[in-house]
Amino acid sequence: MVDEEWRVSLKVHAPLAIREPVSPDTVRDLLCGRIGEEISLSTGKNGVFLYAATADAASAAERLAQEVLAEQGLPEAGDIRLERWDLSRQAWVDVRTGQPDPADAPELPSGRELNPGRRRLRTAGALIAAIIEGISDAWPSN
């Protein structure tokens, strides 16, 4: 299972030499066949996101994103950030600057993520939490 503590955020835009913008879906499709099981891939309104459990896996995903854009002749078509989830701030923080991107609202994987098992796992976890809460509410206090 892929944890979501690390992410590579790839915000896609149209480079000056290209008239049509590069869509996040196009970049997602280019990355899809090249990521390993340790990386989860999703698209959102702000771009493409690669999630990983470790810094090493996230760094590898960052290099892969750079390679894919370069191979397509689009190295300037995206802003790539290596980020880590900061629980205290409830925000993704850029590893290099230590600051969250002010334009980036905290975004968890969208419903379009390519790993539907994670969505089912979250749903099951919420159900278990609700059952435990219901049991503890029904249990008499001493």
* Domain architecture of the chain: domains with CATH: 6-110 (3.30.70)
Is-above-0.95 flag for pTM?
A: no
The closest alpha carbon to 109, from 100, 120, 94, belongs to 120
CB 96 within 8 A of CB 80: no
What distance in Å separates the CA atoms of residue 104 and residue 112, rounded to the nearest whole number?
18
**Grouped pLDDT means (10 residues each) for the chain, 142 residues:** 75 60 75 85 83 92 87 72 89 89 54 52 66 66 57
Q: In sequence order, what are the beta bridge partners of 32?
A: none
Phi first, then psi: what are they for 134, rounded to 5°? -65, -40
What distance in Å separates the CA atoms of residue 95 and residue 27, rounded to the nearest whole number?
23
